[in-house]
Amino acid sequence: MQESQPVYRSFWIHLAAAAICVVFIVTYFNLALRPQGFESWSLGAILGFSSFVFLFVLPVGTWAICLALSKEPLLIVGTDFLDVYSYFFPKKKLLRIEAREIQNVDTNASKNSERMDLIFFLTDEAYERLSPLKLWRRRDPKIKAVFWSLANTQLNHAQAVELIRKQLSLSSQSPEDPYEPA
């Protein structure tokens, strides 16, 4: 029996985001601690930059570090289920999709789409139950599919599709695209 396979967030992407935030914070304090640091700045510019650093950069940097250090998975692929977790709140499990509810899985990463998603092709009952949820980036009732953004993970989209198909014993063939000309 196969073990459940977690898909984790990318440590390096989140660490890079935190590093960019640190650059802004260091720049701010470098200017603030110099004798002529903010001398040529207007009061509005100082207040604007200060607000930006303390109300946006500092919280985003802290959040990025927390995500980089999080040991919580974004997705867990079991042999008969798929657990989806919140991107923003690592410990919050959003839902479980049973293997019997998934007909197939694919990605639009190779179809020159502006967004890269995992596409879950669901049974009719599962589509009716899951499509109203707000976690999907897009829904397609014609093909009974929901689109989920899988971003900033240790696996690329093709690897994630391969893992899900292997773990859930799904067809390795991509489903027919009803929007492609014959």
Q: Return all residues near 76 (Cβ < 8 A) that are at least 6 apart.
A: 4, 5, 6, 7, 82, 83, 85
- Token pair of 135 as six digits: 């976690």
| pLDDT tens-place string over residues 87-96 | 888 889 999 9
Q: What is the pLDDT of residues 9-32, one digit of tens each?
A: 999 999 999 999 999 999 999 999
Residue type at position 136: W
Write down the pTM of the prediction.
0.78
Q: What's the pLDDT at 182?
A: 44
Q: Is the pLDDT assigned to residue 181 strictly greater than 70?
A: no
Q: Hey, what are 5's tokens?
A: 């396979």
* Mean pLDDT of the 98-127 span: 84
